[in-house]
Amino acid sequence: RHGNESMSGVTVRISDIEQAAEVLRGGGLVALPTETVYGLGANAEDPVAVARIFSVKGRPPSHPLIVHIGGAESLEAWVEDVPAPARELAERFWPGPLTLVLRRGRRVPLEATGGLETVAIRVPNHPVALALLSAFGGGIAAPSANRFGSVSPTTANHVRSELGDAVDFVLDGGPCTVGVESTIVDATGEIPSVLRPGGATREDLEAVLGRPLAVHSTSQVRVPGQHPSHYAPKARVVLVAPEKVIAEAELAQELGHQVGVMVPPTSSNTAVNAHVVVAVPGSMAAYAHELYGFLREFDQRGCDLVIASLPVEEGLGLAIANRLRRAAGPRASA
């Protein structure tokens, strides 16, 4: 065996992992697969390399990154202190789609945290990411590997087509299994709160903690780096009630729009008069897995308008609804 086989059957050679680790040591950028989305990684302790991430993404330097580490047992090396609930969540969910915000340890440069005294940390659950972290030995600061404000990549080809030569090395670990970003939990205090819903469900987190989490709605809290227009395709996204999706899509198409329509699972009609028609899967896991691919397909096929509805906001549906709302949110003027 020469490879480290991911679930999709894509084979990454050990020599690729070693080469990618060398690129990180040399201050370069590596796109790496995780179970959520692809990340654009740099040595978390190299401020110059971290700064390159921001310039490649076109991301304002005040927006903090996530530091990926190889295992829960090394958490203490990256943060000032680990309150009991944070320790419990780390042990139960890592490797996995959960990011913990904790007090920044001294080895984390302020460049990686957008100047904050807290740092976001997670252990990704992907064999290629874990192999790279192990070969590299340090922490990898990585935001999603897309340009600022656009849809996160869930395949290596998404990364290549969006960032191209700006990345020094792309590790192809196949399509991301989860498909939406990690859940971000502020665990600095005794009562953890959700800053961004994601791949780890609130229900699962609460089951482990044995009590409800505080959940900030996007209007209540200004999490750095989370603008309403994040996760947006180029096409305008309009959300309507599930039973109105087809009628609204057909009307807009008749009015001359190139409409992409996300037909809800409650509708059996897929013979819709629209430019691109996708059927939303009934399972939330399957929906999360497909969501960003749908949004990219609409752009690729030239849709100027997307009509969709929100899923029931429980389990992974919470993260999906959050991303759809943001995709439909007001665009930055610049």
Give the residues lining the site for ligand TXA (CB under 6 A). 34, 36-37, 39, 63-66, 99, 101, 113, 116, 118-120, 124, 142-144, 181-182, 184, 195, 223-226
227 annotated as ligand-binding: no
CB of 148 to ligand TXA, least distance (A): 9
196 annotated as ligand-binding: yes
142 annotated as ligand-binding: yes
Report d(CA 21, CA 301) in Å as an integer: 36
Contact partners, residue 226, CB within 8 Å, separation at least 6: 195, 196, 218
CA distances from 166 to 56, 147, 178, 221, 318 (A): 6, 11, 26, 33, 33
Which one of ligand TXA, Mg ion, none interacts with residue 21, CB within 5 to 8 A by kind? none
Measured in degrees and rounded to the nearest 5, phi and psi for residue 165 equal: -70, -10
144 annotated as ligand-binding: yes
- Amino acid identity, residue 253? Q
Taking CB under 5 A as the binding criterion, the range among 28-36, 44-52, 144-152, 192-200 that sits at the site for Mg ion is 144-152
292 annotated as ligand-binding: no
In this structure, which long-range contacts are made by residues 50-58, counting pairs with CB atoms below 8 Å and at least 24 apart in sequence?
50/109, 50/111, 50/112, 50/141, 51/111, 52/27, 53/29, 53/141, 53/142, 53/143, 56/29, 56/163, 56/166, 56/167, 57/143, 57/146, 57/147, 57/148, 58/147, 58/148
Among 43, 113, 125, 144, binds Mg ion (CB under 5 A): 144
CB of 9 to ligand TXA, least distance (A): 22
Taking the least distance from each CB to ligand TXA, the nearer of 223 and 279 is 223
CB of 152 to Mg ion, least distance (A): 5
β-strand partners of 41: 30
Which one of Mg ion, ligand TXA, none interacts with residue 116, CB within 5 to 8 A by kind? ligand TXA
Taking the least distance from each CB to ligand TXA, the nearer of 66 and 328 is 66
Report d(CA 271, CA 246) in Å as an integer: 10
Binding residue positions for L-threonine = 36, 68, 118, 122, 142, 182
Q: Which residues are annotated as a binding site for ATP?
A: 59, 144, 152, 196, 231
Known binding-site positions:
36, 59, 68, 118, 122, 142, 144, 152, 182, 196, 231
